[in-house]
Structure 1
Amino acid sequence: MSLLKKPATQWVVLGLINAACIYALISSPISFKKNVGYHTNSHQWLEDQNQLNTEEYLTIGEDRLTLSAIESLNGKLRNATVSADIIRSNQGNLEIKIASTKLSQDSELFAIDKMPDLFFRRQYIGQEGSTLNYSFLPTSDDNTVCFYLHEFGRLRCMNN
């Protein structure tokens, strides 16, 4: 009789461990704070040895994501603001649909011969109705958010 109790006890313990793991996955906190502005600066060297400087701001609300960027190249500035509706949100993942894009006009900053890859990625982001998928990664700092943008293979970290 004691032989039957040991395997039953082991199965109960294993079941509790599995249930605890599933609960931890389901109830884990989202990796970003809603309605908080995140910010980052980046620098990219172009083929002609000029440097493109970018300052980005990201805010994620209940059902809206807004990304604003200021870029400078050779003393010229360009602004871009992208607003998107959140289609799906779950445990660190967001699927968004671009609702509107507002761009300042400066052909020098988006000269296709200087940065073709960057130009084509921006064409997709600027297209209303495009969908993007973000996966948020855990960070040790509550003031930092890191995400991977699947459509571009881009990893970005920002601070608030």
Structure 2
Amino acid sequence: MPRIRALKAFLYVTIPWLMLGGLACICAALLYSPLAARKYNGEYQTFFKQSWPNVEPVTEEFLTLNQQMFTLTEIHQVDGTTHYETFYADILNSHPLGGQLQVKNVLTDQRSQWSPYKENAELIARYQYATQPGAVLNFQVLSASNDEALCLYIYELSRLRCMNP
């Protein structure tokens, strides 16, 4: 009889804790998993207008993203002229919440010396680092109110962009 009582007590204490632990694992998996696969494969774009002293550039960005490659093209329209930049990078490692990029190449138009960062020394330094071939950039994928949108924060540029497919 004492063995049966001990077994019942053990089961009454252990089973609820096992169930609670299992539920906690399921909740954690649901919290972290939806960001991964669908966001790392696709094409995204955004369009925005900025207000700077003496100029209001209109920028359109296109991002192609898969498990191995990151390509970002920016098209700036300033004072009736169009300027572009294209960043090519390999994805070194990734996880559901972010990863690291290694810059392969940056192409810009050579028609003008327009720079959106020309009046801020800190931004110039960050931009110069981020556009050097071989530079490693850290990024984070953030959740958005629209399930299909991709919000990407690049730490070295202090830059957040949310894009739609």
Partners of 1:139 and 1:15 lie apart in 2 by 29
After the TM superposition, which of the residue ranges 126-135 and 141-150 deviates more from structure 2? Answer: 141-150
SS in structure 1 at match of 2:26: helix
State the structure with more CA Rg: 2
CA contact (8 A) 1:38 1:159 kept: yes
CA contact (8 A) 1:67 1:83 kept: yes
Larger RCO (CA within 8 A; separation ≥ 6): 1
CA contact (8 A) 1:95 1:134 kept: yes
Partners of 1:122 and 1:150 lie apart in 2 by 12
RMSD of equivalent CA atoms: 2.3
| Aligned equivalent of 1:38 | 44
After the TM superposition, which of the residue ranges 97-106 and 118-127 deviates more from structure 2? Answer: 118-127
Post-superposition offset of 1:101: 0.8
SS in structure 2 at match of 1:49: coil
Post-superposition offset of 1:111: 7.0
Q: What is the count of residue pairs matched by the alignment?
A: 157
| Aligned equivalent of 1:120 | 125
AA of the residue aligned to 1:32: K
SS in structure 2 at match of 1:41: strand
User: 1 or 2, which has the higher strand percentage?
Assistant: 1
Q: Which runs of 5+ in 2 are unaligned?
A: none
AA of the residue aligned to 2:76: E
| Aligned equivalent of 2:150 | 145
Partners of 1:141 and 1:42 lie apart in 2 by 18
Partners of 2:24 and 2:116 lie apart in 1 by 54
For residues 50-69 of structure 1, what are the structure 2 equivalents within 5 Å? Answer: 50-69=55-74
AA of the residue aligned to 1:104: D
AA of the residue aligned to 2:128: Q
Post-superposition offset of 1:78: 1.2
Partners of 2:25 and 2:125 lie apart in 1 by 45
Moved over 6 A (4+): none
Q: Which runs of 5+ in 1 are unaligned?
A: none
Q: Deviations over 1:26-71 (max 9, x none)?
A: 644526151x22111122222x331122111100023111000111
What TM-score do you get using the length of structure 2 for normalisation? 0.81
Post-superposition offset of 1:156: 1.1
AA of the residue aligned to 2:139: Y
CA contact (8 A) 1:110 1:119 kept: no
Partners of 1:142 and 1:111 lie apart in 2 by 31
| Change beyond 3 A, Cα 1:26–1:41 | closer
Residues 1:5 and 2:19 are matched in the alignment: no
